[in-house]
């Protein structure tokens, strides 16, 4: 076990405490409506016929509009965010958002000729989980689930599972691995992040 893994395990409860707060105003209908809009925009990009670069620019815009980017970026940086300067946090957030758009935009690009459809909504403790079904040509349908909260005062998704793979945990591991490769140098990690995805 690396030092990072040990520290991350020890910080799990602290991170959980920082998770989106209970949604007192958000309703099941509002969560579904938000994901309906999100899915409609993703489907429109999938059907647009744009180049990969053009589609990824569109996905980055969608990610900024519909996701709780500040929470996702802070979670991905984890305990290392405590030692980052304000400037480093801003630079990381900008680079991370573009990285996520590239990485998941390429995944959604695989949906060309297919579609996403909202299938189910359920409240789970402090948020709603909105499950969509991805229908791709020549493949069995699979789930893409969005975790929706109104923590910021807007209805936004703060996590996403694709075929059971947790985006938040996956990206925290990726960022941690980048920091390890750069011996904890946050600026070097950000430089690598700009080229990743």
Give pLDDT, residue 24: 52
- Cα 140 from Cα 134, distance rounded (Å): 9
pLDDT per position as a tens digit, 44-87: 988 888 888 888 889 889 988 999 988 999 999 999 999 999 99
CA 53 from centroid of its chain's CA atoms: 19
pLDDT band at 114 (very low <50, low <70, confident <90, very high): confident
Q: Angle at the Cα of 118 (from 71 to 167), degrees rounded to 5?
A: 30
The more confidently predicted of residues 1 and 76 is 76
Q: Given a cut of 70, is residue 12 above it in pLDDT?
A: no
CA-CA-CA-CA torsion sign (130, 131, 132, 134): positive
Instruction: Spell out the domains of the chain, with CATH numbers in brackets.
Output: 24-193 (3.10.450.710)
- Cα 85 from Cα 100, distance rounded (Å): 22
Q: In whole numbers, what is the pLDDT of the chain averaged over residues?
A: 85
Confirm whether pTM is higher than 0.85: no
User: CA nearest 159: which of 76, 94, 84?
Assistant: 76
Cβ contact 182:193 at 8 Å: no
pLDDT per position as a tens digit, 141-181: 999 999 999 989 999 999 999 888 999 999 999 999 999 99
Cβ contact 109:46 at 8 Å: yes
The more confidently predicted of residues 20 and 39 is 39
Beta-ladder partners of 159: 147
């Amino acid at each position: 076990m690396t030092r990072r893994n040990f520290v991350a395990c020890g910080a799990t409860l602290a991170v959980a405490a920082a998770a989106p707060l209970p949604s007192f105003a958000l309703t099941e209908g509002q969560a579904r409506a938000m994901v309906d809009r999100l899915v409609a925009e993703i489907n429109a990009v999938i059907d647009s016929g744009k180049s990969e670069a053009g589609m990824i620019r569109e996905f980055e815009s969608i990610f900024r509009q519909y996701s709780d980017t500040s929470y996702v970026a802070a979670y991905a940086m984890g305990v290392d965010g405590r030692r980052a300067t304000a400037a480093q946090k801003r630079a990381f957030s900008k680079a991370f958002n573009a990285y996520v758009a590239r990485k998941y935009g390429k995944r959604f690009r695989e949906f060309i000729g297919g579609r996403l459809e909202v299938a189910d909504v359920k409240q789970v403790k402090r948020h709603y989980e909105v499950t969509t079904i991805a229908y791709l040509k020549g493949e069995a349908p699979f789930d893409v689930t969005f975790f929706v909260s109104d923590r910021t005062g807007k209805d936004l998704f703060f996590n996403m599972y694709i075929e059971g793979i947790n985006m938040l945990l996956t990206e925290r591991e990726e960022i941690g691995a980048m920091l390890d490769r750069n011996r904890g140098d946050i600026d070097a990690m950000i430089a690598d992040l700009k080229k990743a995805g």
